[in-house]
């Protein structure tokens, strides 16, 4: 089973900018974006491992992360409180200190 | 997202021919006064996509959908949905040489004979 | 939801293609006939009615609403939907992780899947064509208010618009707010105004409105008369 979840609800995180050589479900538009953990969802194989049948890899925790639209798009014209959420696997997240 | 061979570079004459013949559902339904918004084979097509997704290795979902988006935009822009979903799937499988275009052409002729001899 | 479709009298190329492709795929071992049969039956049985009923029940019964928010899979069972079907562990593309997004007076949700148009099919049925298009998926995460406006939905700047990108195993259903003018309505009356579009988040339920938007998709082949959403 997975290790203890690294992040908890309320933690500030940033989506990492890992090289995507093959398969990933972490969207390009989220790379490098700062967000907040709003849910710890479940543990599962990371999509990269699942896609290549690496069943013996350790599962990781998944999180719902909330982003401010203004942090995702430089020219976002909507109100500052608009947000977006997405579900990200632990290996794609790092603590955001800013 | 996924680096795959660009299947839009490949042309599949069989499929282009079907597009030209234009027997798309919205035209056929109108011709026969049938009001069902989707053709009767749609659920079977969805069953096929789910069955392929179950094993995942041959054509992963994200890849299949990305190719469907690209093919629908480029080569098969005149096709409505869900013909676009079906033809894109066939194109993806033929481009990967998982299904052979000639084998499919022959099988289609057989299937048509079989169905027409029943009606 | 299923009834045998009335027949057109010609056998179309696409009907033939679907059968031929499927037969060759099974012969090649890409999947089994049994797999296909199971998933096809599942596709035929699904529709949006259970989801409409779930929302209507949540509006009427606060205890059910609490259950729906805390354990949506169990609440789905109460409207006759078992997310473990048809295989005992769900389908390969829907999984078994439903989450219900509750709208409030200051929060409006809208759902998309930018990667491949994942959708809560077991409870909501098949996704509409526009939901699958790059036109919707690309733009809803960049300019949500503009896309919603194209659906005729204008939200005040005091409201937070939250886009939910279901890129992983969770599937999302919006629980919209109960509109005014529905006091004393039965569950059935309420369910009739909870359209599929309301549960995706591109419409709000309204007394008297029981149908979904008919939107042009840029490669549709019939002439379009209302506003275009072409990119």
Is C220 a member of any domain?
no
Q: How many structural domains compose chain C?
A: 2
The ipTM estimated for the assembled molecules is: 0.94
* Cβ–Cβ pairs < 8 A, chains A and C: 65
Is A6 a member of any domain?
no
Please say if the pLDDT value at position C99 is more than 70. Answer: yes
Same domain, C30 and C53: no
Instruction: Provide the CATH number for the domain around residue C142.
Output: 3.90.330.10
User: How confident is the model at residue B9, as a pLDDT?
Assistant: 84
Q: Which chain A residue lies closest to B60 (C-alpha atoms)?
A: A51
Same domain, C59 and C171: yes
Is C228 a member of any domain?
no
Same domain, C162 and C99: yes
CB contact under 8 A, A22 and B2: yes
Determine the structural domain holding residue A37 and report its residue range.
Answer: 12-95
User: How confident is the model at residue C136, as a pLDDT?
Assistant: 96
Q: How many structural domains compose chain A?
A: 1
At residue B5 the predicted structure's pLDDT band, cuts being 50, 70 and 90, is: low
Same domain, C17 and C107: no
Is C18 a member of any domain?
yes
Is A7 a member of any domain?
no
Same domain, C52 and C85: yes
Q: Which chain A residue lies closest to C146 (C-alpha atoms)?
A: A78
- The Cα of B62 is separated from the nearest Cα of chain A by a number of Å equal to 9
Same domain, C86 and C27: no
Determine the structural domain holding residue C100 and report its residue range.
Answer: 46-200
Instruction: Provide the CATH number for the domain around residue A27.
Output: 2.30.30.50
Same domain, C24 and C50: no
Tens digits of per-residue pLDDT, B50-83? 999 888 778 888 889 999 999 999 999 999 999 9
- Six-digit token string for A16: 């990492």
Chain A partners within 8 Å of C163 (Cβ): 69, 83-85
Contact A98, A34 (CB under 8 A): yes
Tens digits of per-residue pLDDT, C102-143? 999 999 999 999 998 999 999 999 999 999 999 999 999 999
- The Cα of C169 is separated from the nearest Cα of chain B by a number of Å equal to 13
Same domain, C129 and C178: yes
Is A82 a member of any domain?
yes
Is A51 a member of any domain?
yes
CB contact under 8 A, B60 and A28: no
Same domain, C124 and C78: yes
Same domain, C134 and C22: no
Is C72 a member of any domain?
yes
pTM reported for the whole predicted model:
0.89
- Of B6 and C64, which is predicted with more confidence? C64
Test the C interface: residue of A23, A27, A81 with most C CBs within 10 Å: A81
Same domain, C108 and C129: yes
Which positions ≥6 away from B48 have C-beta within 8 Å? B89, C18, C21, C22, C25, C31, C36, C39
């Amino acid at each position: 089973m997975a290790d203890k979840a690294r992040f908890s609800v309320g933690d500030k995180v940033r989506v990492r900018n890992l090289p995507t050589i093959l398969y990933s479900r972490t969207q390009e538009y989220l790379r490098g974006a700062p967000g907040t953990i709003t849910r710890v969802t479940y543990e599962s194989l990371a999509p990269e491992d699942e896609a290549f049948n690496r069943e013996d890899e350790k599962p990781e925790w998944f999180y719902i992360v909330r982003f401010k639209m203004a942090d995702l798009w430089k020219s976002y014209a909507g109100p500052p409180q608009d947000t977006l959420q997405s579900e990200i696997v632990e290996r794609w997240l790092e603590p955001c200190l800013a | 997202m996924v680096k795959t061979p660009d299947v839009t570079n490949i042309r599949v004459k069989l499929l282009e021919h079907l597009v030209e013949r234009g027997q798309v559902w919205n035209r056929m339904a109108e011709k026969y006064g049938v009001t069902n918004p989707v053709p009767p084979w749609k659920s079977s097509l969805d069953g096929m996509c789910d069955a392929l997704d179950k094993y995942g290795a041959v054509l992963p979902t994200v890849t299949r959908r990305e190719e469907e988006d690209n093919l629908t935009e480029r080569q098969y822009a005149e096709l409505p949905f869900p013909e676009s979903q079906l033809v894109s799937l066939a194109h993806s499988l033929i481009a990967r040489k998982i299904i052979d275009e000639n084998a499919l052409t022959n099988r289609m002729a057989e299937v048509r004979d079989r169905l027409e001899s029943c009606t | 939801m299923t009834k045998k479709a009335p027949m057109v009298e010609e056998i179309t190329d696409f009907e033939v293609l679907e059968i031929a492709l499927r037969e060759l795929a099974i012969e090649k071992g890409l999947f089994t006939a049994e797999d296909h049969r199971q998933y096809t039956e599942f596709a035929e049985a699904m529709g949006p009615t259970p989801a409409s009923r779930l929302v209507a029940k949540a509006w009427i019964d606060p205890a059910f609403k609490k259950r729906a928010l805390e354990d949506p899979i169990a609440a789905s069972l109460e409207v006759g939907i078992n997310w473990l079907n048809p295989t005992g562990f769900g389908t390969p593309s829907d999984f078994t992780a439903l989450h219900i997004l509750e709208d409030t007076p200051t929060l409006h949700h809208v759902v998309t899947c930018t990667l491949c148009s994942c959708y809560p099919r077991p409870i909501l049925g098949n996704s509409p064509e526009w939901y699958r298009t790059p036109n919707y998926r690309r733009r809803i995460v960049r300019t949500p208010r503009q896309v919603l406006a194209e659906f005729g939905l204008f939200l005040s700047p005091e409201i937070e618009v939250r886009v939910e990108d279901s890129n992983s195993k969770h599937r999302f259903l919006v629980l919209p707010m109960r509109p005014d003018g529905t006091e004393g309505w039965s569950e059935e009356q309420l369910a009739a105004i909870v359209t599929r579009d309301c549960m995706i988040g591109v419409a709000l339920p309204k007394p008297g409105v029981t149908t979904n938007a008919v939107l042009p998709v840029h490669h549709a082949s019939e002439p379009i008369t209302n506003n275009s959403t072409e990119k």
